[in-house]
Chain A
């Protein structure tokens, strides 16, 4: 999101020429697409790892004989999800489902959602622990770039006025009514966009890395403060799982917003950098 400029198109009538702004610089575009692929692989291989022990606990320890706060399990004829004392039948999707060859399986997450499609903890870990590096290195470089290139200060920085509840509520209402900014306003991020991107880049993704590292017995020895920070290894595993779903929630909202705001224009701007401003409503 740099300065706006009208493309040089002297032959076109000025009133009809779409106003284009250079919205996404190269590091943002590259990181966006690398991350899109990386997070998908991390999610799907993460579900494979979860399948190895589909139970979550709070605290330092937790195994089959201990009380789990979340379980995806199966009975002889059904699959279920239990969270605390709340239990829901998930036959066909979680816990008991039928694979592409028509074979019934009782792994927690179905094969279409995992990498690889058959249960292999070893392979899931290989994918997960390699792409964790891609994500961590990419995120670190991108965070540094947002600071050095002033992306953070110019585009993501939440101005004083934007913090007012009235302003935030106004943006929420606009989103709910699917009323998106047009003209010059569309070149800038709204408060909800800023909070979402800051939340993902500076809170959720670092949280995923930190809770992931807290599950490492090797790092636990040299950095035991991570265990204290998250309340133990099994708590870190639970938070890792919850934060993954927060990222999925971001992804779903992100995709819906892109579709509503104009798929072609949005995707093109994330490929070329150039974004066509939606014309003013009253123009």
Chain B
């Protein structure tokens, strides 16, 4: 959930006096943009994912902190207020009619209200949120474990990924994210509706957001209104598994 994403590449203007460094700099950027180079560099992501999955405990818990350790102010990022009349109406009614659809490879598709979600067993955790930009904030989250929702819907064995669809539109598309089943079933992966003892503020993703504690901030989908179990991410968005992954090539595996 980067705050200031800039256009990925702008053609270097040839007009005006050419600085001596310009040819060198554009040569560097040509290397950066070469498909073969990008393919090689992407191996780093795969090595990080594979090594973390292979060498570390898949169920290891992210550190949980005490109330005194919390950030004085939890910085919101990305969308702070989804546009549109539909969301505004939901916010005005306290999200009384908000529905979270649980679909895809499940035995029993669900349509959960916020009351349904709050009626399920809850988990509260004080964890550190790490933005891809480099900052961190510690906050206390309360919500239902995603594994409970998936169990209630009877997720099928053929499901390999869980996709989270969001109500916030950024530019041309709605935000979305996805994760594998290891993180989906992780005990600390929760659909949170409260932050620091209060109902989740709109800036932080009201009424419901994902907490996926072992990955970076842009994976933590906010304003979630659908959870979908799938076998492949190819047909979703541009196929890379997330809004920023599709657009600016952020890593799908954001464990580092």
Which residues of A approach B to under 8 Å, CB–CB? 49-50, 52-53, 55, 60-66, 100-102, 111-112, 115-123, 125-127, 129-133, 213, 215-224, 227, 233-234, 237
Contacts and interface: CB of A to CB of B under 8 A. Distances in A.
A125 B28 CA distance: 16
B251 A125 contact: yes
Given A49-B134, A115-B28, A122-B249, A227 B63 contact: yes
27 contacts: A52-B2, A53-B134, A60-B136, A60-B138, A61-B69, A61-B128, A61-B138, A62-B136, A63-B73, A63-B75, A63-B135, A65-B71, A65-B72, A65-B73, A100-B21, A101-B12, A101-B16, A116-B32, A118-B9, A118-B29, A126-B45, A127-B32, A215-B130, A217-B255, A221-B60, A222-B56, A222-B57
Contact of B44 (A53, A118, A129, A224): A129
A132 B44 contact: yes
Given A61-B136, A116-B28, A120-B6, A218 B56 contact: yes
Interface string B97-138: 000000000000000000000000000000010111111111
B41 A117 contact: no
Contacts of A117: 25, 28-29
A112 B25 CA distance: 7
Contacts, number: 160
Contacts of A129: 44-45, 48, 251, 256
A126 B42 contact: yes
Given A53-B131, A100-B21, 11 more contacts: A60-B128, A61-B69, A63-B135, A64-B75, A65-B71, A65-B73, A121-B133, A129-B48, A213-B256, A216-B52, A217-B62
Nearest to B247: A122
Interface in B21-47: 21-22, 25, 28-29, 32, 38, 40-45, 47
B124 to A, nearest CB: 18
Interface residues of B, number: 58
B61 interface: yes
Interface string B159-185: 000000000000000000000000000
A111 B26 CA distance: 11
Among A130, A131, A215, the most chain B Cβ lie within 10 Å of the Cβ of A130
A224 B43 CA distance: 26
Nearest to B9: A118
Among A50, A66, A115, A132, the most chain B Cβ lie within 10 Å of the Cβ of A66
